[in-house]
Amino acid sequence: MRISAPNLTTTEARILAHAIDHRQPVTISYVNRDGNSSRRTIDNIDLTGGSLLAWCRLREDERWFNLRRIIAVEPTNPT
């Protein structure tokens, strides 16, 4: 799977693609439309166009994440 997320390094895009393919959680750094940044651990990730639909552990709800607003990705240990 190829991820088109302009703010991610090639390694981070691969981590995200692996998480999507293998249904594993990742932690993202995300900037919302108001310019506020946060770190979110997400799982059950589905790629739809230029966005992710995922379970957000911080909000305990499904959330949409625009790929253009993701500025970093790191692996998360499954819990």
pLDDT score for 33 = 93
For the stretch 60-72, pLDDT in tens is 999 999 999 999 9
Q: Quote the CA–CA distance of 44 and 62 in Å, as a whole number.
A: 9
Asked if 66 and 32 count as a contact pair (C-beta separation under 8 A), the reply is no
Domain locations in the chain as residue ranges? 10-75
For the stretch 16-46, pLDDT in tens is 999 999 999 999 999 999 999 999 999 999 9
pLDDT score for 4 = 80
Q: What's the start-to-end Cα distance of the chain, in Å? A: 24
DSSP line for 9-61: -HHHHHHHHHHHHTT--EEEEEE-TTS-EEEEEEEEEEEETTEEEEEETTTTE
Per-residue pLDDT at 79 exceeds 80 = no
CATH architecture label of 10-75: Roll (2.30)
| DSSP 8-state code for residue 67 | G
